[in-house]
């Protein structure tokens, strides 16, 4: 395989010499439970993670993710390897892992463009788009909003205006992958050597888009439910594909619930309009409810800001503050346990 087509140029300044070390560079295409499928210059390999890397990993974010570039000790006769190191990422899409603990889940790494896919049927949700934008801006990749299923959508112009009202400066494309409408415009984001990731809820049309780019029915496609236009999870894992026209696409499972992770900067960028208004409030700690001199409430009364936009802003801000408190508590516990292990090790050495 040609590593340039896989996007190696975007991490060239982060690489070390593999000739002297005898290591092989590759890109993770599919993480399994204990094994990884890795694309290399010698073809497709299976790899396991080294004991050292496993021991040093403190969280799941320290393990290889789809899209990661990794160094492997080769077993070339078997087309297998052992992953001994991960190349520093230039971008990563992270969210809070499902469940109570404050744990990071990396959806994809080293991505240039994120296609935020939202169907134009009854599952269209502007509040979900706001969350996706916060996640995308924080990742370091460039977001692109894709409004899919235009062939069966309704009130399309109205929904485009809604998307424009929350996506400042973000490209918006109306497409129908089933009919090929608007798909040529999306190809420009996936040029040779560049990586795009598909994010969206189940039933949004990601698998149909992927099949269009691959020129084959690689990903399973299922009909959405008639009652609410929501789909089943047709994609059950994250996987990297090389597309025939050049470029790389990463498909991801549908995400109904989007719990943000370290999205303070992304949140501020996604809600830049509210943040700018808040700067003009009389009190710096204004909660934007009933305080005198609140510029945000004044904008709502004047019709310059929708109340639902403020409600979404306050809800996401509260979530991020809660997550920050949980992460601080978790960090304190981890630090305490680490010092216990150090003390225990020191006592053993004295004996």
- Would you say 345 is a known binding-site residue? no
- 5 marked as binding residue: no
Q: Give how far the C-alpha of residue 259 lies from the chain's centroid of Cα atoms, to the nearest Å.
A: 11
Ligand-binding annotation for 308, yes or no, is: no
312 labeled part of a ligand binding site: no
Specify which residues 44 forms β-bridges with: 39
Q: Is 246 annotated as a binding residue?
A: no
List the Cα angle 237/270/257 in 5-degree steps: 35
19 is annotated as contributing to ligand binding? no
d(CA 95, CA 132): 10
Is 165 annotated as contributing to ligand binding? Answer: no
Q: Output the six-digit token pair for 258.
A: 């989007």
Is 336 known as a binding-site position?
no
Both tokens of residue 148? 């899919």
Q: In three state form, how does the secondary structure of 184-243 look?
A: HHHHCCCCCCCEEEEEECCCCCHHHHHHHHHCCCCCCCCCCCCCCCCCCCCCCCCEEEEC
Helix H or strand E segment including 106: strand 104-109
Q: How far is CA 266 from CA 71, 152, 228, 317, in A?
A: 31, 32, 30, 11
Known binding residue 293? Answer is no
148 is in an annotated binding site: yes
Q: Is 136 labelled a binding residue?
A: no
Is 203 annotated to bind a ligand? Reply is yes
d(CA 190, CA 213): 10
Instruction: Return contacts of 286-292, CB within 8 angstroms, 24+ apart.
Output: 288/314
200 assigned ligand-binding residue:
yes
CB atoms within 10 A of CB 185: 14
Which secondary structure element, helix H or strand E, spans residue 168, and what is its range?
none
289 annotated as a binding-site residue: no
Which of these, 108, 28, 31, 106, lies nearest to 72 by C-alpha position? 28
204 is in an annotated binding site: yes
- 107 contacts 197 by C-beta, under 8 angstroms: yes
Q: What is the CA radius of gyration of the chain?
A: 23
Nearest to 118 by CA among 142, 146, 144, 141: 146
Annotated binding-site members for GTP: 148-151, 200-208
Annotated binding-site members: 148-151, 200-208, 281, 286, 288, 294
Annotated binding-site members for Zn(2+): 281, 286, 288, 294
């Amino acid at each position: 395989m040609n590593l340039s087509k896989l996007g190696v140029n975007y991490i060239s300044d982060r690489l070390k010499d593999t000739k002297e070390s005898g290591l092989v560079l590759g890109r993770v295409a599919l993480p399994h439970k204990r094994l990884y499928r890795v694309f290399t210059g010698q073809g497709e390999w299976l790899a396991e993670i080294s004991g050292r890397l496993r021991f040093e990993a403190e969280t799941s974010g320290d393990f290889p993710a789809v899209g990661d570039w990794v160094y492997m000790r080769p077993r070339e006769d078997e087309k297998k390897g052992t992953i001994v190191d991960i190349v520093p990422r230039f971008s990563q899409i992270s969210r809070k892992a499902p469940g109570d603990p404050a744990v990071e889940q990396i959806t994809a790494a080293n991505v240039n463009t994120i296609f935020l896919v939202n169907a134009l049927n009854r599952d269209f949700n502007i509040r979900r788009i706001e969350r996706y934008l916060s996640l995308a801006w924080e990742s370091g990749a460039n977001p692109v909003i894709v409004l899919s299923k235009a062939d069966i959508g309704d009130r399309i112009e109205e929904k485009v205006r809604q998307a424009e009202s929350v996506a400042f400066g973000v490209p918006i494309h109306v497409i129908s992958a089933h009919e090929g409408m608007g798909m040529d415009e999306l190809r420009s984001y996936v040029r040779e050597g560049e990586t795009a990731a598909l994010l969206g809820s189940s039933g949004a049309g990601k698998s149909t888009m992927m099949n269009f780019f691959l020129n084959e029915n690689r990903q399973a496609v299922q009909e959405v439910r008639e009652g609410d236009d929501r789909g089943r999870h047709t994609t059950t894992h994250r996987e990297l594909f090389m597309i025939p026209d050049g470029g790389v696409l990463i498909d991801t499972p549908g995400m109904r619930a989007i719990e943000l992770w370290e999205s303070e900067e992304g949140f501020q960028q996604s809600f830049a309009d509210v943040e700018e208004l808040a700067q003009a409030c009389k009190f710096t700690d204004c909660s934007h409810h009933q305080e005198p001199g609140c510029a945000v409430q004044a904008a709502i009364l004047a019709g310059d800001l929708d109340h639902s936009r403020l409600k979404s802003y306050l809800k996401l801000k509260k979530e991020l503050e809660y997550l920050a408190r949980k992460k601080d508590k978790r960090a304190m516990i981890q630090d305490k346990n680490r010092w216990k292990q150090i003390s225990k090790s020191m006592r053993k050495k004295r004996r």
